[in-house]
Chain A
Amino acid sequence: MKKITFTALTVPLTYVLILLLCSLKTYAQEKTLTLSGVVKDVNGPLAGVLVWQTDTENGTQTNELGFYTIQIPTNTQVTFDYLGYKPQTFIVKTSTLNVTLVADENTLDEMVINAGYYTVKDKERTGSISKITAKEIGQQPVANPLAAMQGRMAGVNITQNSGVPGGGFDIQIRGRNSLRTEGNAPLYIVDGVPFNAQPASDAYVSSLVIPLGNISPLNTINPNDIESIEILKDADATAIYGSRGANGVVLITTKKGDNNRTSIAIQSVTSISNLANEMKLMNTQQYVKMRNDAFINDGLTPTAYDYDVNGTWGDKRDTNWQKKFLGNTAVSQNTQFSFNGGSGKMNYLFSGSHRKDETVFPGDFGYKRTNFFLVVNQISKDDRFQFQATVQNSNQKNNLMAYDFTNELYLAPNAPDLYDAAGNLNWENNTFENPLAKLNAKFKYDSQNFLGNIMLKYKLSNSLQVSMSGGLTQGQTNEFRTAPATVYNPAYGLTSEYSILTSSKSSSNTWILEPGIRWFQEGNISKWDVFLGATFEERKQTIFRLDAFNFTSDDLIYNAANAATQQILKDSDLAYRYHAVYARVNYNLLDKYFFNATARRDGSSRFGNNNRFANFGALGFAWLFSREDFLADASWLNFGKLRGSYGVTGSDLIGDYQYLNTYGIGSYPYDGLVGLEPLRLYNPDFSWETNKKFEAALELEFFNGRVATSIAHYRNRSSNQLVGIPLPGTTGFTSVQANLNATVENTGWEFTLRPILFSTPNFSWNLNINLTFPKNELINFPNLEESTYANQFVIGEPISIRKVYNYLGVNPETGLYEVEDVNNDGVINNSDRTAVVKLNPEFYGGVASSIQYKSWSFDFLVQFVKQIGYSPDYNTNFLGSMQNQPTELLDYWSPENTTAKHQLPTTGANGAAVQANQYYKLSNGVFTNTSFVRLKNVQVAYNMNVNKDKNRQLKIFAQGQNLFTITPYKGLDPETNGGFLPVLRTFALGFEFIF
């Protein structure tokens, strides 16, 4: 772990030290000698160790063999220092001095955290920031950085939406603040450049295979290019991002080059993934009996169309459709090549990678990604001017079917074979809608993304620095969804005249420019660090979507020009601009008391002229009480800090142009004219959402840093909610945009614990445990009962609830599901929906373990969540319809089984049963415990130093992802909990060779 982080940390630290040295006076000395030697640690030579004449600027660094030479006067002192090791000082007497540095267990003391516009020593920070590094990211065979974060951070809840490659994630940092789902996205910053958090896809085209069309924008980033991911959580940390940071900030910092060595690294990982768990569904015998019972219950006999029970399909076959539709093994291949070098005041890193993922669906589908990444750092000869440039490019191609096949598993188990004897799709004499025909409907996704940024810093004097950071992102996405006539039963006689192509082309261009000035002054008792900055940001997006029908031939279906009819469904652009000025003042008194104040004025183009600007700010403090005299002798306590923060931020996540009173262009022409339609109800007066955050935390380290722990409590209140207030249909629209005087509160406790169980040169074992108890509550909502939200929210309950009927069970006499008629008016309707089901997790967390034995390392991560979700039968039709069901539903009512858990089957003719089923689906009876404990990740790695040369390494590793899940949930997967492909189980094998 240390070695990787050092690469990134040495660079700035070197600068700091060099600057420090430059500012000191040079003493002329009489006698000098050439001192040389090798610096090692227990594993071998150390490169980049700073060697300098104590208290002077005369210094050098060790080379890649750990060797150094320095001209130094005799009888002076020489110091050896390397981050993470205890510095050592010797008096120079001989010309050879070999040094073995010893790792410093208190390295965390010097761990530097990226807080966005500034960095801060971990121990001195006033804000709440969680971090993972390249080490944790690298040990997981995942394609998306968010997947690597799951379970590793307190206060950060990440859910994967789908196991389809290229899919998306939900991320919530300290809960939902906004009543609008889309108002809860965090801010993503990649190397200082904001990253559009919206899904990188047109849901109109993709949502049938990717849930909600949520294709994660972070798919463009190769996790292996990331040095660290920091999550800023509280007001103090996020305030400098103002309104953009209201839902937390995800800071992604890419890897940097190394000044001191040139190396080439090659990494290759091959993995296989498959469905980790199958659902238990009825077999043919059970299914046919259930269906026949349905007919008996309805007093009917199977009609000519009930092929499953009228003998047409017979009852010989008993197919597990999960094996047929989701049973393939997906092979993934990830190869990366990187070139790293530098010398003196310049370094660079180039990396290129290619990733290929298959799917578990039948057919030849898959995802490909190619990434290029280059970063260059330079510092001028006089150390005043610093320059950094990063360029990232990614190219993604996703080739999928247009529909997720997961819901096809409810096909009747005695349904006919998919293929006939001749190998063609089997339609069983038109009695069978063959699901495989849907494979002819394709979804293609093709996306190119570019991100570039530069950072310039110039030191005007020892205490004044100006900086300019600029970045831009460009993205182009092409998506296609086809529905050729071959998706239908040929009996319909449809030809390519009926084929449809839907395609969408979108682009996104953003730029950001951030000038800043930093003034810092260090005195004996206090340090000041003041930063003033401004942000100019623009985002432009375009989208062009069309439908094409009536093709000459399906072979040309991707070419809209081949269609007789084309319709432009959307041709639009949007522009968003954001502007802010901000100041941060950091004051450090006696290295014990830290104060951090942030103030900011934000402007957003999303509001009408009178509401564009708003002021936000935050205050944070930290008290390192372990540095107080009264604890100086407490050997058991190495470190103790109390910190707290309070601040106000806002949010403008409401979509663009909502304050305009405009007509939009309709999709279709009529009688020679393209239509114009009113877009929304006019209300120009809405303004910023307000978010007040409070946090208090205690951080402690005991027994020479062997045990480190932290406890944090937060309370965030979000008010003046920006919502589309629902309206009855008689208004012509379903909602109007407005500020609602409602308050949502998120409170919670976050715990982390990092015990080092063993720490010897040959064997070490440490754990990293995090645990979060989040609580979400709607604390204020004027006139909720009369409002349009009466059926959605309850004061005092979380905002992610469902108001449902109270389920009473199956009536032993009627055999039907029964829900409570709460107001006893004899009618079951919405006023009886008073039961509350809380869908937010009760607690979640993770246990990460890292064991090192000589050259072996063994890491694992266990993730756990306690929560409630929909039970599997939520996704199925009523019992008795021509659709298979989970085996739990076998316990259905019959005259012999009047205490059954589920109601009697019906073919649909029993209206009361169909109705009862609908009530059941809207009741608390359909929810179940979806908590889980999951062995999220395991890695075993062997590190081989070739020829004892530290710069030639071969690392071989085996990894596993989502290996094992313990859950009471009976469906496919408690995390995805629904009708989409669950997260897959992955085994990976790979190597990394550095030379």
Chain B
Amino acid sequence: MKRLIILACMLIGILHLVGCEDFLEVPAPKDQIDIDKVFNDDKMATSALMQVYTDLRNNGFLCGSRGGTGFLLACYTDELEATTTQMPDFRVFYLGNVNATNSGAGLLWKNTYKQIYMLNNIIEGVDKSEVISEKTKNQLKGEAIALRGILHFYLTQTFAEIPYVFTTDFRWNTTIGKQSVSQVMQNAIDDLLIAEQLLNEEITSFEKVRINKYAVKGFLARMYLYAENWNEAQKYALDVITHSGTSLAALDQVFLKESTSTLWQLKPDAEGKNTYEAEAHIFISEPAPQAKLQNALIASFEPNDLRKELWVKTVGTGNSAHAFKYKQRGATANSLEYSKIIRLEEMYLITAEAAAYNNDWNLCNSMLNSLRSRAGLSELEILDKTVALAKIKQERRVELFCEFGHRFYDLKRYSLLSELTLVKPNWQNYFQNLPIPEAELLLNPNLKPQNNGY
């Protein structure tokens, strides 16, 4: 009996341990911060936005590496020739074999929506916060909304009909449906107009490595141009040209980090590093290990165009050349070049194009000639819309080559992608839109149907 009592006591003692729930409280890990804390502090909230810029530089449309549009779409069109014998995404793009399971297209989609989630999280967090100062709120929200609009703009230009994501609620976003291209464009423009209001003239980052009011106006000019709203396009482009405090940069200065024509640029992740663009394009001996400029592009420069001399470098026997806009392939004591996302020269081209549609030949010629004289080319005197548009198309080609898909998006909006059959016999009309990644269609049937042809 005594033993049973002992046993009972022990049992009670052991069962007492069940009460040790506190034991299961573990401290949060040192590399995680509660979401409420992030948006209760100006600096931490800003850090959340800084991560978006890091992500933009490393992934998605605005990444300068071979997975970004600068390289992929250059291979897709008539700018780059993939020379590798392996089968990386950019060669698949070059060969015109992009299908719905292509990882390059899949990553563009996935990474961009991840960035959009991060932006929506900031927009919602800042809105809810009662602690962050009004000034920081407007600044962060302005930047985030502007970036959200720009990313959707790239998505719709590339994939055509896409969902416009306004919330972080995954229950909603799991079954979200698509919008027409014009609806996405309208939403994107609306986002940028809101951002234009929220952002003030003061440039938060003196290096312009964060989006700012004039970069927003620059993108508005581009979007209105794509939407064929010539008046608004011209208005915004001229606003940037006259009020942004920027000026055309000498050809050898354009891609330096302190270039006067920069509207918005992304900086590398550490001092001393330079751009992914330089790493992606430059090679120093023949044969080109990854890709080289297509002859069609090299031939398209007018004789004596200084841009060919300064931005194209021929290697070895002269059969291989690479883009040499960015010249610093490796590290330097201090970083010299940043990745240009949008720059003033494009505003001249937008103004010229809008002016041509408005038959404003003075403006059109002065814009084009500003760029041409800087490139050592003769001045033009155009009085005809067809001639002007052809000239502008040519100017855009040689000014903006290998920069984030300008060539592809230009040909697409001119409905001239079929020109590519000259260098790509297997080019099909349906290549104008990339396929929606097959995995996405499976996960969200509301994204059906797949783009035509795929």
Contacts and interface: CB of A to CB of B under 8 A. Distances in A.
Contacts of A533: 14
A791 B443 CA distance: 9
A915 interface: yes
Nearest to A662: B32
Interface string A334-354: 000000000000000000000
B176 interface: yes
Contact of A730 (B57, B96, B163, B442): B163
Interface in B423-454: 426, 437-445, 447, 450
Interface of B: 3, 6-7, 10-11, 14-15, 17-18, 20-21, 23-35, 38, 43-44, 46-48, 50-55, 57-58, 83, 85, 87, 91, 95-97, 99-101, 109-110, 113-114, 116-118, 120-121, 163, 165, 168, 170, 173-174, 176, 205, 207, 209-210, 267, 269-273, 283-287, 289, 330-331, 426, 437-445, 447, 450
B269 A669 contact: yes
A662 B270 contact: no
B50 A675 contact: yes
Nearest to A675: B51
Contacts of B437: 729
A564 B100 CA distance: 42
Interface string A783-797: 000101011000000
Given A493-B284, A676-B38, A572 B31 contact: yes
Interface string A809-832: 000000000000000000001100
A771 to B, nearest CB: 40
A669 B270 CA distance: 8
A947 B360 CA distance: 115
A62 B47 CA distance: 76
B92 to A, nearest CB: 8
A732 B331 contact: no
Given A550-B272, A829-B438, A671 B50 contact: yes
Contacts of B283: 492
Interface in A979-994: none
A679 interface: yes
A678 B121 contact: yes
Interface stretch (A18-26, A133-141, A400-408, A458-466): A458-466
Interface stretch (A66-74, A601-609, A848-856): A601-609
Interface stretch (A173-181, A198-206, A574-582, A885-893): A574-582
A495 to B, nearest CB: 8
Interface string A75-107: 000000000000000000000000000000000
B51 A666 contact: yes
Interface in A645-683: 656-657, 660-666, 668-671, 673-679, 681-682
A592 interface: no
A942 interface: no
Contact of A463 (B3, B33, B170): B3
A838 interface: no
Interface stretch (A238-246, A273-281, A358-366, A906-914): A906-914
A425 interface: no
23 contacts: A464-B7, A492-B283, A533-B14, A571-B30, A573-B29, A575-B29, A577-B26, A579-B20, A601-B18, A670-B50, A670-B51, A675-B54, A676-B38, A676-B50, A727-B170, A727-B443, A728-B440, A729-B440, A731-B173, A732-B113, A732-B117, A732-B170, A915-B99
A677 B438 CA distance: 27
Contacts, number: 262
Closest 8 CB pairs of A and B: A732-B117, A675-B51, A572-B31, A728-B443, A668-B269, A729-B110, A728-B444, A670-B50
Given A673-B47, A731-B174, A915-B97, A517 B10 contact: yes
B286 A430 contact: yes
Interface of A: 304-306, 430-431, 460-461, 463-464, 466, 489, 491-494, 497-498, 515, 517, 519, 530, 532-534, 536, 549-550, 564-565, 567, 570-579, 581, 601, 603-605, 612-613, 656-657, 660-666, 668-671, 673-679, 681-682, 726-734, 736, 786, 788, 790-791, 829-830, 877, 881-882, 908-909, 911, 914-915, 918
A305 B287 contact: yes
A681 B121 CA distance: 11
Nearest to B271: A565
A909 B95 contact: yes
Contacts of A657: 28-29, 32
B15 A733 contact: no
A909 B38 CA distance: 51
A501 to B, nearest CB: 14
B51 A676 contact: yes
B442 A788 contact: yes
Contacts of A497: 330-331
A676 B44 CA distance: 7
A534 B14 contact: yes
A427 to B, nearest CB: 10
Nearest to A666: B51
A579 B48 contact: no
Contacts of A431: 287
A572 B30 contact: yes
A852 B138 CA distance: 85
A914 B53 CA distance: 37
B267 A671 contact: yes
B289 A492 contact: yes
B10 A605 contact: no
B85 A882 contact: yes
Nearest to A466: B10
B85 to A, nearest CB: 4
A911 B453 CA distance: 14
A668 B426 CA distance: 42
Given A668-B54, A677-B48, A732-B116, A579 B331 contact: no
B31 A733 contact: no
Nearest to A908: B95
B117 A911 contact: no
A676 B48 contact: yes
Given A304-B287, A573-B29, A729-B109, A678 B35 contact: yes
B48 A663 contact: yes
Contacts of B210: 671
Nearest to A549: B331
A550 B270 CA distance: 12
Contacts of B20: 536, 579
A881 B86 CA distance: 8
Contacts of A492: 283-285, 289
Contact of B6 (A460, A664, A728, A909): A460
A564 B272 contact: yes
Contacts of A603: 21, 23-24
Contacts of A670: 50-51, 53-54, 57, 209, 267, 269
A570 B55 CA distance: 16
Nearest to B7: A519
A718 B158 CA distance: 44
A736 B170 contact: yes
Contacts of A677: 48, 51, 55, 118
Contacts of A572: 29-32
A575 B174 CA distance: 32
B35 A663 contact: yes
Contacts of A519: 3, 7
B32 A663 contact: yes
Given A498-B330, A670-B54, A911-B97, A573 B30 contact: yes
Contact of B21 (A574, A612, A881): A612
B7 A430 contact: no
B442 A576 contact: no
B15 A581 contact: yes
Contacts of A605: 24-26
Given A581-B15, A657-B32, 17 more contacts: A565-B270, A572-B31, A577-B26, A670-B51, A671-B50, A674-B47, A675-B51, A676-B48, A676-B50, A678-B118, A727-B173, A727-B174, A729-B443, A731-B173, A830-B438, A882-B85, A918-B101
